[in-house]
Amino acid sequence: MHDFNDRVAVVTGAASGMGRAFAERFAREGMRVVLADIEEDALEATVQQFKQQEFRAIGVVTDVAKAESVEALAQRTIDEYGAVHIVCNNAGVAAGGARPDGQPVPLWEQPLSDWEWTLNVNLWGVVHGIRTFMPIMIDQDDEGHIVNTASTAGLTTGPGLAIYGVTKHSVVRMTEALYYQLEALDSKLKVSVLCPGGVRTRIAASGRNRHDELLEGDARPSADEVDERTQSWAERIGESGMDPEEVADRVFDAVRDEQLYILTHDSVDEGIRERMENILARRNPEPRPFGDVAGGAACG
Ligand SMILES: NC(=O)c1ccc[n+]([C@@H]2O[C@H](COP(=O)([O-])OP(=O)(O)OC[C@H]3O[C@@H](n4cnc5c(N)ncnc54)[C@H](O)[C@@H]3O)[C@@H](O)[C@H]2O)c1
């Protein structure tokens, strides 16, 4: 995309962290922004702060895990601004995969609700975003861009944060397919997949947005304990994490430069290479400590 002024960007997960930084970056380019998030109070506060900065912004409470909620977001966007040019499918959560005492939980013991919650938001959220917004954007026959937030955990491998990694690998694959399909159609729409390493956000406190229905059964921990289970991850991000604003600059550059892969942390290259070399050599990976997240690089 080359013209940003007056155009419309929709960002999910915009009440916090990276989503908020993306929306602000687009607003600074003169775009009208639609902030979507499940966390109502944080969303309202963010919209107020945007308005104080004289950005043109609306907030739409949205649960990306639900198709009808994402459809309502699109409808509200069109009703308010008449078009949509950038969509960031960014909302995401992480269920820890470790017990409150830090001991890792193997995949076969992780509650079904961890699977459902993480897949519903991180994977189905992107699916709903694509199925809802792409037909609208294609009909507009104008330039446009979709940015799907994956993670370095979608490029690397390891024993830790496995459910999260499953969703992020899926988002990478989905975005690559979109890239090929849009190129084959010579479309004006472009796509990017964002694969950040550790970024200083509230991701390790994802449990704050977990629905009650996904806390039932499985004799599973409370939302607070879920947060504790991601604590060591949070500490690692805190030590080496990037500021969301820096990621937002890279996302903006990638949209302008029509760049598919957006990687933020060079330290992850080794993990990507190692995985690919093992696959190409038909070689088993070296064992790693159980709790290791995607090769030990600061990774989200
Ligand atoms: N922080 C990191 O280190 C890191 C690294 C790589 C990828 N990511 C990814 O970046 C994206 C943004 O996360 P963040 O790090 O800014 O965390 P964050 O918790 O600060 O922001 C995530 C936002 O998503 C919202 N959200 C959660 N569930 C939702 C739902 N069902 N519907 C709508 N909104 C929902 C939350 O309310 C929150 O505002 C996520 O997809 C995450 O997986 C984060």
- The pLDDT, as a whole number, for residue 50 is 98
Q: Residue 220 pLDDT > 80, yes or no?
A: no
Residue 232 has pLDDT above 90, yes or no: no
Distance 214 CA to ligand 1 centre (A): 17
State the pLDDT confidence band at 83, using cuts at 50, 70 and 90: very high
Ligand 1 atom with least separation from CA of 300: 5
Q: For the segment 171-210, what is each residue's pLDDT rounded down to a tens digit?
A: 999 999 999 999 999 999 999 999 999 999 999 888 888 8
Q: Look at ligand 1, atom 17, and give the residue with the nearest C-alpha.
A: 203
Atom of ligand 1 nearest to the CA of 91: 24
In a domain, 2, yes or no: no
Q: What is the Å distance from ligand 1's center to 108 Cα?
A: 25
In a domain, 1, yes or no: no
91 within some domain: yes
In a domain, 3, yes or no: no
**pLDDT on residue 212:** 60
Tally of domains in the chain: 1
pLDDT at 95 over 80: yes
Q: Is 145 left (phi over 0), alpha (psi -120 to 50) or beta?
A: beta
Question: What pLDDT does 218 receive?
Answer: 47
The pLDDT score that the predictor gives to residue 230 is 58
Q: Can you tell me which atom of ligand 1 is nearest the CA of 63?
A: 32
Residue 190 parent element (H or E): strand 189-195
**What pLDDT digit, counting tens, does each position of 243-299 carry?**
999 999 999 999 999 999 999 999 999 999 999 999 999 999 999 887 666 544 445
In a domain, 229, yes or no: yes
CATH number at residue 63: 3.40.50.720
- Gap from CA of 89 to ligand 1 centroid (Å): 10
pLDDT of residue 207: 85
Compute the mean pLDDT over every residue in the chain, rounded to the nearest whole number. 90
40, 201, 251, best to mutate for ligand 1 pocket (most atoms within 8 Å of CB)? 201
pLDDT at 227: 59
How far is residue 161's CA from residue 18's CA, in Å, rounded to a whole number? 20
The predicted-structure confidence for 35-69, as pLDDT tens digits, reads as follows 999 999 999 999 999 999 999 999 999 999 999 99
Q: Check residue 300 and give its pLDDT.
A: 53
> Looking at per-residue confidence, does 243 or 216 come out higher?
243
Angle at 96 between CA 128 and CA 223, to 5 degrees: 85
- Closest ligand 1 atom to residue 39 Cα is 37
Ordered alpha helix ranges (H), the chain: 17-28, 40-52, 67-81, 112-118, 125-140, 162-184, 223-229, 231-240, 244-257, 269-280
* CB proximity list for 171: less than 8 A, separation 6 or greater: 89, 122, 123, 126, 148, 149, 150, 154, 193
For 123, which DSSP code?
I
Q: What are the structure tokens assigned to 271, written together? A: 């993990």
Write out the catalytic residue numbers.
164
Q: Within a domain: residue 176?
A: yes
Residue 280 lies in a domain: yes
* Domain extent at residue 142: 8-296
Does 103 have pLDDT greater than 90?
A: no
* 248 CA → ligand 1 middle, Å: 14
123 lines ligand 1 (CB under 6 A): no
pLDDT band of residue 100 (cuts 50, 70, 90) is low
Asked if residue 129 is part of any domain, the answer here is yes
227 Cβ inside 6 Å of ligand 1: no
pLDDT above 70 covers a percentage of the chain that reads 85
Report whether residue 199 contacts ligand 1, using a CB cutoff of 6 Å: yes
pLDDT of residue 236 exceeding 80, the answer is no
Q: Residue 35: CB within 6 Å of ligand 1?
A: no
